[in-house]
Amino acid sequence: MSFNDREEKILNILHEKNSIRNSELAKLLYVSVSTLRRDLEKLEDKNLIVKEHGICKLSSHLQDEKHSYYLREKKDNIAKNKIARQAVKLIKDGDNIMMDGSSTVFNVIQYLDKFRDLLVISNSAKVSMALSDTKIYNISTGGKMAEKTVSFVGQEAIQAIKNYNADILFFSCKGFSEDGYLTDVDKEENDVRKEMMKYAKKKVALIDSTKIGKKYLYNICHASEIDEIICEEELPDYITKFLH
């Protein structure tokens, strides 16, 4: 294992444990104490860790970043769950639902158990795995796996979508621009979403407030092409004016 690999592992361990004895850390890394000592000296020189009496811990500025990260993550989860609770109000028993591979849409799954005879069609491996533990029938598009989102993309996924019709589509994106375009950074993910839009009666975008006003390279569609936008906060007037 190279120093760069060990450096990453050491920082990951300290993010979880806050502090750890050097002897225990050496065992976790399968390195000698002398090797670990040299690694820790390099990390201390970079102001990433602090060494104290045989114990190492994250430097204070990394601790602050970690705290901020957890606060942001908690806030994001609260927003996404609020959006999901609003989204399920649009569902009724017997619906065929399409879902993309976004994390915001994934949060909807936890609220589906109260419905009967649902069918979910998704290009998300995570959605299919989560639904496999329920009584909800689900169909996966298959296709090429996008590693970052664990979603299926490419022509096989697009071709599979063409076989089905949905009552409602839930999808998300990274940005909602001021001129009303839903945008993202991944063209292949967007191509799948565009295909889903063709075969869904009702198209619903689930977008948290942090994405409002942001614009990325690829357009998915314009707000005037969808039926509803659900956000955890009230949408600004310049967005609502685009909805029909």
Pair 91, 200 in one domain: yes
Whether residue 65 lies inside any domain: the answer is no
Which range is least confidently modeled, 14-28, 95-109, 120-134, 161-175? 14-28
Query: According to the model, what pLDDT value does residue 69 have?
Result: 43
Pair 160, 209 in one domain: yes
Pair 82, 128 in one domain: yes
The Cα-based distances of 228 to 124, 129, 172, 207, 216 in angstroms read 22, 27, 12, 11, 21
Confidence at 191, pLDDT banded by 50, 70, 90: very high
Pair 164, 228 in one domain: yes
Whether residue 68 lies inside any domain: the answer is no
What sections of 18-119 are H helices per DSSP?
22-29, 33-45, 60-87, 103-106
Total domains present in the chain: 2
pTM to 2 decimal places: 0.70
Structural domain range at position 48? 3-58
Whether residue 67 lies inside any domain: the answer is no
Which range is least confidently modeled, 10-24, 75-89, 186-200? 10-24
Q: Which residues contact 61 (CB under 8 A, 6 or more apart)?
A: 47
Confidence at 62, pLDDT banded by 50, 70, 90: low
Euclidean distance between CA atoms 54 and 83, whole angstroms:
47
Whether residue 85 lies inside any domain: the answer is yes
